[in-house]
Amino acid sequence: MKRIYKIMMVAMVSAFAFAACQQPANQNETNNNQTKEPLAMKDQNGKYVLPELPYAHDALEPYIDKMTMEIHHGKHHQAYVTNLNNAISGTEMENMDLMDIFKNMSQYPVAVRNNGGGHWNHTFFWEIMGSNAGGKPSGKLLSAIEKRFESFDKFKEEFSKAGATRFGSGWAWLIVDSNGELQVSSTPNQDNPFMDVADIKGLPVLGVDVWEHAYYLKYQNRRPEYLENFWSVVNWNEVARRYEEAVK
């Protein structure tokens, strides 16, 4: 009996200590510009999974509304994950890195292109947004943007234009190309700049989803207004981290 009592005490003290350690982490969740662990796209068994949003569904209000986030993340992104798992099931792609598939995308099934792209693009999208965000980048990224596009405002104009003029569904991107230069581009559907099928290839550092499902509930046909408000939720810390990683 004594031994069991001892074990129980140890367990209780450990649980208390664990809970105490969790406290600061929870407090940090109010600041989404905090550096975080990258969102997991796979579980331990190698199955693709829907990552949890790194903030609450209403964290991007009033620019992106709660219901849009709930449906976009919980339904649309989930569907890409489910369909990707189904598309690769029982094939060599099950054990391949998504990046290796993207590099030779034209040789793989269109279901993997659409849903693999969908999974990667959305995971990225959630990370480059946040609450208490927006404003301007600083440091190396701002210098590189000003060097390439003359000014931050001109860059914003070019990026928004790429999103506004993408016919139908797709994405606008800011990428680092193979020369280490920043480029604005756009892709249709769920394609992305990693894919061999993309017109302009590179490493994405910023991207915006211009599918109607990303904005229709709040903005209806007003895509340019959604794109204008997108600047208020850009997590520049994450964009800068990706930029610095890309030019290393």
Q: Which residues bind Mn ion (CB under 5 A)?
A: 209, 211, 214
| Angstrom distance (rounded) from CA 70 to CA 61 | 12
CA dihedral (165, 166, 167, 169) positive or negative: negative
Q: What are 19's two structure tokens?
A: 């809970």
Are 206 and 134 in contact by the 8 Å Cβ rule? The answer is: no
| Angstrom distance (rounded) from CA 172 to CA 95 | 30
**Closest distance of CB 78 from Mn ion, Å:** 11
**Closest distance of CB 70 from Mn ion, Å:** 13
**Closest distance of CB 151 from Mn ion, Å:** 30
**By C-beta, is 195 or 240 nearer to Mn ion?**
195
**By C-beta, is 214 or 239 nearer to Mn ion?**
214
**Closest distance of CB 121 from Mn ion, Å:** 7
**By C-beta, is 79 or 247 nearer to Mn ion?**
79
**By C-beta, is 124 or 211 nearer to Mn ion?**
211
Position of minimal CB gap to Mn ion: 209
Give pairs for 41-47: CB < 8 Å, separation 24+: 41/98, 41/119, 41/120, 41/123, 46/94, 46/95, 47/85
